[in-house]
Structure 1
Amino acid sequence: MRLLLTLPLLGCLTACSLTPTLQRPAAPVPLSFPMTATTQASTLPASALGWRAMFGDPRLQRLIELSLANNRDLRLATLNVEAAQAQANIPRAARLPAVGLDGMHTRERALSTDTNGQTRREVSQQTGVNVALSAFELDLFGRVRALSDAAFARYLASEQGRDAAQIALVGAVAEAYFTQRLADEQLQLTERTLADWQQSLELARLLKQADQNSSLDVAQAEGQVALAEADLEARRRARAQADNALQLLVGSELPGDLPPALPLERQPSIARLPAGLPADLLLSRPDLRQAEQMLVAANADIGAARAAFFPQISLTASFGYASTSLGGLFDTARQVWRFAPQISQPLFHGGRLRAELRLAEVRKSEAVAQYERAIQTAFREVADALAGTATFDRQIEAQLRAVTAAERRLSLSDLRYRAGVDGRLELLDAQRQLQAARQALLELRRAEIANRVALYKSLGGGLHERDRAEIAAVTTAQ
């Protein structure tokens, strides 16, 4: 009995660890981002800014809220976390002894032969109850602990993967929404342009009836209207596809009570995130923390593979009572016990253990390379977004001047055409130039907003729901 009481203490012995000390590689990127722009810095890092503060459009906020509740990819990522947590508990449980209570009762009739050679039937019974410890491994070389540490690191990696999936989802919904806004505004612009060109066609036909122009002018106007009608169908198709993409991300049919959409030029946004941020800020990104935890798991696997070369000591023991009658089962004279320690030392496995160790070392090297690649990718994403921040404002300003100039040219061309100074070709060219300039301006506005979304996402933003009031309260408290 005293021996069984000491068994749990044996499992608590400090095991020597064969897991190598993890040396995290230095970040293979510059110490700071390129100084591509000078902008007003936010008092909080992007990872602490809630998506309600980043995206002030109430319609977009509602869509993000719906996607977080219904998106299937995010749901799968959450289920993966739960599965990894359950799987991590399996090797952790192996570090503790498994104790079971067994009860048994047998009754049998057998034939026996006495000394006189006569056969008799005898009925016997046996009743027993015992507490058993089954094959508990004393983790003297840290094999079980290394397996548990590896499983726990993979669980933490799955948590970070879920957070990375949420950031990606918030960014994808925002990008899909602004793509839908662009398609809708381009459709409206095409409809207005078509209406204007149809009026111009009617004017050309009236002038032809009055013998003030030729059939060539009418044909040119008809061709321009036909091109606008074809462009209108393309814009309708783009709008339908943008709706489908957004609905897929949201994960359900878009409700009819959504707030009205804001045009691209009136989209509210926080102050732009600053350039020149230190590169170590990237380490707050969930995908980088996920890669780091996978590196920890691969390092622990090496410890488990090393420990497999050493003896494995396991204990099997039981204590209980056995009796031929139920009434005397718990009599002290009926006590029984069993103690069976076992040691197993690998001798020859055909090189399997060395191959497993080599495989663990190679997988750690792969994890290091994946970790470094993740850092480089994240650095490039931030640097690209900062480069866009430095140039989009000036590009949009220049494009606005181009739109203004095209509007002025069209107005003058229309007056000259009506006065008979210029021909129809000059007017048609002015109309096409204005249409192209306006479409390009819409594309630029959408690209500039998408660049802000990309910077916010690349710096780890999108995990929190804080609105502007909550951000202000946190900033004041600091």
Structure 2
Amino acid sequence: MTLSRPASPRQHLRFKHLAAAMLLLGLSGCANYFGIHAIEPLAQPGTYQAHSSLAGSGGTWPDSGWVKQFGDAQLVALTAEALAHNPDIQSARARIAAARAQAEGAHGAALPSAYISANADRSYIYQDIGLQTPSGPTQPGSTWSNSGQALLGLTYELDLWGKNSATLARAVSQGKAAEAQEQQARLSLTAALASAYNQLAQQYATRDVIEQLAKQREGLSRLSDTRLKAGLDSELEQSQAAQSAAEMRTQLAQLDEQILLTRYQLGALLGQGPDRGLSIARPQLANLPPPRLPDNIPLDLLGRRPDIVAARWQVEAANQQTRVAKARFYPDVNLSAFAGYFSFGLSDLGNSYAKGFGVGPAVTLPIFEGGQLRANLKGEYAQYDTAVASYNQTLNSALTDVANQIASVRAAELQLQSQTQALQQSERGYAMVRQRYGAGLASELTLLNAQAGMLGTRQRSIDLEARRRNLQIALIKSLGGGFDARAAGLALNEPADAQHRPNKQ
């Protein structure tokens, strides 16, 4: 380390001229990314044709506790358990922690850094030059020497072109995207759990009907045996009745398998293993009234669906990365300073005459990079276009998803209305036959056939009710399940010109 005297006024002037020259050179040599820009425009809800299919009816958006609407306290408790233990949610939380760590690192890079450096060494020098002197040739000699230094240094990168701020903004955007993805994972898990729970309810209700049908077919089989002995039926009719009873027992066994598998599925969703599903009580789900849709679905959906919000933050992160790539075309300017002690003898290290300090800039200017800077910027813009296309596709799919669920829910409501009427008529007919049978005006065979028809109609009603609940769950999910980007701190403040990102030059 060499100590120098303070610079003279003339030297200061030379330094300013040199710095100005390097800055001008940088400005003239770096503005060579013109013609490189984004291609894909960011889609807006108004560009999609969805007025008719997504017409609102003055309703409200779902709230975050939407599972309570089904009136089953066990489902509410299972939802909380799943959100606490499911591995997908744990993975999403880990991604948030990683993104926040990157943001902290990017923030630290924009601040000054200080360091302390100290070193000492002891050197041995042996010389045997053999010079001729008036007194004769020199003799070989050796010596030991000590040296050391202790420094306090400071460095700071001047973020003249916004590279560090853009890096920080990118990291923050990625963190926001991770938070929105975690909300999407929570919504998907809640909807999957509710759907599986609804499936379990349907399977139990179906088993009740099949069990009654099995008993009814067993009754028909016994009746056929009696009629065969009385000569009223043939062996063919008796065999068909026995076959029908056996088929009902097969269906019962199949339903028991489905119930067991659904319980295992619920245990997996809870993150507790398959045996956890075995302890779940039989579901008791209520039927929801027809939903009233909120107004302005296409526009408000942008802040209501976490997958759309996550995709939008990914676009913002890609936009900030293009700013980082542009800043690399300009010179890096770093300020550094140090102060400390230098000495060729360790015993003198703390003396006043061994002190020194220095301060100055360090400028790095890319002049020729073999096209790497332009290629890197093109690649970043390609990544931005990819993020925009992904966002556009997410928005398009979300609008279609909502439209599909609305259409299916409305169709299921109409079907269920007709089916309810059919079930009422079937139950009325069965009651009439049973009354006639009690009065001795109808045979047992007629009664059993009427009961079979009524149970078959009831089975179709159970299937339609379960399908309607499942569609309502899917509709709630498609509407964001109570997510609100602004309330969650994930809203992106858009400028008036939504097509501005990134600047085209």
- Would you say same fold, with TM above 0.5? yes
1:225 and 1:69 map into 2 onto residues whose CA distance is: 46
Q: 2:164 aligns with which of 144, 158, 162?
A: 144
Q: What are the residue-to-residue correspondences of 1:8-47 with 2, within 5 Å?
A: 24-27=42-45, 28-30=47-49, 32=51, 34=53, 38=57, 41-42=59-60, 45-46=61-62
Number of residue pairs matched by the alignment: 444
Q: What is the aligned counterpart of 2:264 among 233, 236, 244? A: 244
Q: For 1:218, what is the secondary structure of its paired residue?
A: helix
**How does 1:130-141 map onto structure 2 within 5 Å?**
130-133=151-154, 136-141=156-161
| Residue 104 of structure 1 pairs with residue 119 of structure 2 | yes
Q: What TM-score results when the alignment is normalised by the length of structure 1? A: 0.81
Aligned to 1:221: 241
**CA–CA distance in structure 2, aligned partners of residues 145 and 55 of structure 1:** 48
How far, CA to CA, are the matches of 1:257 and 1:249 in structure 2? 13
- 2:395 pairs with 1:375: yes
Which range moves more in the overlay, 335-344 or 169-178? 335-344
**Cα-Cα RMSD:** 3.6
Calculate percent identity across the aligned residue pairs. 25
* Preserved CA contact (<8 Å) 1:127 1:324: yes
- CA distance in 2 between counterparts of 1:270 and 1:97 reads 61
What residue is the counterpart of 1:263 in the other structure?
Answer: 284
Task: Provide the rounded CA distance (Å) in 1 between the counterparts of 2:100 and 2:79.
Answer: 27
Picking from 291, 300, 304, the partner of 1:272 is: 291
Describe the shift of the 1:96–1:108 C-alpha distance in structure 2 as closer, same or farther (beyond 3 A).
same
Please state how far the C-alpha of 1:290 moved relative to its aligned partner. 0.8
Does structure 1 retain, via aligned residues, the 8 Å contact 2:67–2:75?
Answer: no
Q: Which amino acid aligns with 2:245?
A: V
Q: Which residue does the alignment assign to 1:460?
A: 480
Shift of 1:194: 0.8
Secondary structure of the residue that 1:211 maps to in structure 2? coil
Choose from 124, 127, 145 the match for 1:124: 145
Are 2:110 and 1:95 aligned?
yes
Question: More deviation in 103-112 or 360-369?
Answer: 103-112
Is 1:394 matched up with 2:414?
yes
* From 50, 61, 71, the counterpart of 2:76: 61
What are the ranges of 5 or more consecutive residues in structure 2 without an aligned counterpart? Answer: 8-26, 132-136, 485-505
Decide whether aligned partners of structure 1 residues 301 and 443 sit closer, same or farther in structure 2, where only a CA change above 3 A counts. same
- Aligned equivalents of 1:270 and 1:225: distance in 2? 38
For the pair shown, the structure with the greater C-alpha radius of gyration is: 2
Return the letter of the residue paired with 1:125.
N
Cα distance in 1, alignment partners of residues 113 and 380 from structure 2: 29
Spell out, residue by residue over 1:65-114, the C-alpha distance to the aligned partner (whole angstroms, 9 max, x if none): 11011100111001011111112222332222321111222233332458
Alignment of 1:55-454 (within 5 A): 55-113=70-128, 117-133=138-154, 136-253=156-273, 260-264=281-285, 266-267=286-287, 269=288, 272-284=291-303, 285-324=305-344, 328-339=348-359, 341-409=361-429, 433-454=453-474
Q: Retained in 2: the 8 A contact 1:33–1:275?
A: no
Q: More displaced, 109-118 or 389-398?
A: 109-118
SS in 2 for 1:111: strand
Deviation at 1:37, TM superposition (A): 7.7
Given that 1:131 and 1:320 are in contact with CA atoms closer than 8 Å, whether structure 2 keeps it comes out as yes
Taking the aligned partners of 2:50 and 2:461, their CA distance within structure 1 comes to 36
Shift of 1:350: 2.7
Q: Which stretches of structure 1, 4 residues or longer, exceed 6 Å deviation after superposition? A: 16-23, 256-259, 411-416, 418-424, 426-429
Aligned to 1:468: none
The residue identity in structure 1 corresponding to 2:240 is Q
Distance in 2 of aligned mates of 1:219 and 1:153: 71
Q: What SS is found at the alignment partner of 1:394?
A: helix
Map of 1:475 onto structure 2: none
C-alpha deviation, 1:433, in angstroms: 4.1
